[in-house]
Amino acid sequence: MGRAPCCEKVGIKRGRWTAEEDQILSSYIQSNGEGSWRSLPKNAGLKRCGKSCRLRWVNYLRSDLRRGNITPQEEELVVKMHSTLGNRWSLIASHLPGRTDNEIKNYWNSHLSRKLHYIRKSHDVPAVIMNAPPTSQRLPEKRRPGRTSRSAMKPKTHKPKTRKPKKTSAPPEVDANVAVNAVVGEDALMMELSGAEAELGPRDDYYYGACHEGGDCCNTNNNNNNNNNNLMSINGEDAVLSFDDDIIDLLLDESDPGNVFSLSDGDGELSHLGDSTIARGSSETSNLGYLDPLHEPCPSVESFINYEHQNALTDEFIDWDCVWQEGNKSHKLCHEKDSSDSMVSWLLDGDDETTIGKSNCENFGEPLDHNEENALVAWLLS
């Protein structure tokens, strides 16, 4: 049976909203509250589809929207979360108060993805690298459901916004000696997002995957941050993953129970933790999987970068550590450096004239060769 349309198409106005319509919608919602979107247009006297009303309200009319340009801190957080979550715009937006999923999505498509595009282009990363892995390695390709679980939904805050002033700078030209601003932790791998979320400001303790030159994928992280709000972290010492609640929801998505993986197999491949209830005990720290440094050769950089980006949920944070291990073991991608710089900040600095064409590693004293660059870019694009 065909699905009933969300509204009658006839007599429905489309296109840009007028100030008068905005006023009507705002007034109606202020008096009657949100919800009942289907009946709202009729009750409010709007010739609009209910979905259109909802979208207009959520993305534009709500009073708690944050206006203005995306700040560098927000941008950094978006990049970090996107690298972990993929195109989960609503989830990303939920961590950026006052920003809407549509705004984040547009910003990504118009700003950030272009940066990646230029990076890829300038490094001549073969398209095949981005192709899917062999079927045997591929994670379930199921498209993420159109919505997250109700429990994962949080009210978003919005404010009307004006058109952002256009940036005048040209798209970043990324030199072959592209910068790497990755921080390689002394002993550890750690990714941490929620600190930035909480502060929306630069942090000193972002660790983008680090492994010992000796090959320990998950050595002790003495810099481990005990912040309970950790969105996700991998504590090398305890080999424990910590997640924010909504991340747990994602990983334990009932509709896709195979989403929980471990790296505990000796062959180094991702494997399902068939019983996802393992992780249900705590949303703070869950023994999702052990990263055994002794029995677990990391997959090659190539094998990791062969994973499709969209497949990656749990595998992405694993990618990072092993990619970096490979980088450190074989190529010494970057020297260890206890600065607050990060891969992401390098990425975000792509427009900065002072950094274009300058490798941060070079700044550290050692330039990257072509293979190293390719590995790095593949990491970024993975």
CA-nearest of 202, 179, 183 to 353 is 179
DSSP secondary structure, 222-282, as one string:
TT----TT-SEEEETTTTEEEE-HHHHHHHT-TT-GGG-EE--STT---EE-S-GGGGGG-
State how far the Cα of 53 lies from the Cα of 38, in Å rounded to an integer: 9
Edge-to-edge, what's the strand order for the sheet holding 285-286? 232-235, 240-243, 285-286
Is residue 31 near DNA by the rule CB under 7 A? Answer: no
Site pattern 100..139 for DNA (x: CB under 7 A)? -xxx-xxx-xxx--x-------------------------
State how far the Cα of 204 lies from the Cα of 192, in Å rounded to an integer: 11
Q: Which is nearer to DNA, 48 or 212 (CB)?
A: 48
State how far the alpha carbon of 85 is from the alpha carbons of 132, 157, 164, 233, 377, in Å: 18, 21, 26, 14, 19
Q: Which is nearer to DNA, 272 or 309 (CB)?
A: 309
The residue assigned the tokens 């929306």 is 200
State how far the Cα of 175 lies from the Cα of 368, in Å rounded to an integer: 12
- Residue 94: how many CA atoms within 13 Å on its side-chain side? 16
User: Total residues contacting DNA (rule CB under 7 A)?
Assistant: 60
State how far the Cα of 170 lies from the Cα of 252, in Å rounded to an integer: 42
Is residue 309 near DNA by the rule CB under 7 A? Answer: no
Q: Which is nearer to DNA, 167 or 295 (CB)?
A: 167
Site pattern 223..262 for DNA (x: CB under 7 A)? -------------------------------xx-------
Is residue 168 near DNA by the rule CB under 7 A? Answer: yes
Return phi, psi of residue 271, to 5°: -140, 150
Q: Supply the minimum distance, in Å, between the C-beta of residue 53 and DNA.
A: 8
Of the candidate spans 118-126, 166-174, 209-217, 263-271, the one that interacts with DNA by CB under 7 A turns out to be 166-174
Is residue 56 near DNA by the rule CB under 7 A? Answer: yes
Q: Supply the minimum distance, in Å, between the C-beta of residue 133 and DNA.
A: 19
Q: Which is nearer to DNA, 310 or 371 (CB)?
A: 310
Q: Which is nearer to DNA, 100 or 221 (CB)?
A: 100
Q: Supply the minimum distance, in Å, between the C-beta of residue 277 and DNA.
A: 17
If you ran DSSP here, which 8-state letter would residue 285 be given? Answer: E
Selected binder of DNA within 10, 33, 128, 150 (CB under 7 A): 150
Of the candidate spans 144-152, 295-303, 354-362, 370-378, the one that interacts with DNA by CB under 7 A turns out to be 144-152
Is residue 28 near DNA by the rule CB under 7 A? Answer: no
Site pattern 258..287 for DNA (x: CB under 7 A)? ------------------------------
Identify the H or E element spanning 286. Answer: strand 285-286
DSSP secondary structure, 177-235, as one string:
T--------SS------HHHHHH-S--S--------TT--TT---TT----TT-SEEEE
Q: Which is nearer to DNA, 65 or 291 (CB)?
A: 65
Q: Supply the minimum distance, in Å, between the C-beta of residue 106 and DNA.
A: 4
The residue assigned the tokens 């709202």 is 40
Contacts of 214 (CB under 8 A, 6+ apart): none
Of the candidate spans 45-53, 121-129, 354-362, 367-375, the one that interacts with DNA by CB under 7 A turns out to be 45-53
- Which residues bind to DNA, rule: CB under 7 A? 1, 3-4, 6, 13-17, 35-39, 48-52, 54-56, 58-60, 87-91, 101-103, 105-107, 109-111, 114, 143-150, 153, 161, 163-168, 170-171, 254-255
